[in-house]
């Protein structure tokens, strides 16, 4: 059976931590930042763990 290819878009958006969690960035932090409050921007700037419902699909796209 051939090797499984990594989904390139997923590779650019997701990363796997040493413990195996899949991390992602939050949306709404690319532009139009002036009208967003500092508190909201601070929250959006952090990376978060991918939702449990999406982990299986994300791991498959990353080739794992």
* CATH number reported for the structural domain that contains residue 26 in this entry: 4.10.410.60
pLDDT at 7 over 80: yes
Query: CB burial class (10 A; 0-12, 13-18, 19+) of residue 61?
Result: buried
- Kindly report, residue by residue over 11-54, the tens digit of the pLDDT: 999 999 999 999 999 999 999 999 999 999 999 999 999 999 99
Assigned domain for 50 exists: yes
Assigned domain for 31 exists: yes
Residue 25: predicted pLDDT:
98
In the structure encoding, which two tokens stand for residue 52, read together?
């449990």
Overall domain count for the chain:
1
């Amino acid at each position: 059976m051939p090797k499984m290819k990594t989904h390139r878009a997923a590779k650019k958006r997701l990363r796997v931590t040493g413990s195996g969690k899949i991390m992602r960035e939050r949306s709404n932090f690319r532009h139009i930042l002036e009208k967003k409050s500092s508190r909201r921007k601070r929250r959006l700037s952090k990376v978060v763990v991918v939702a449990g419902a999406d982990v299986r699909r994300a791991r498959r796209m990353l080739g794992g």
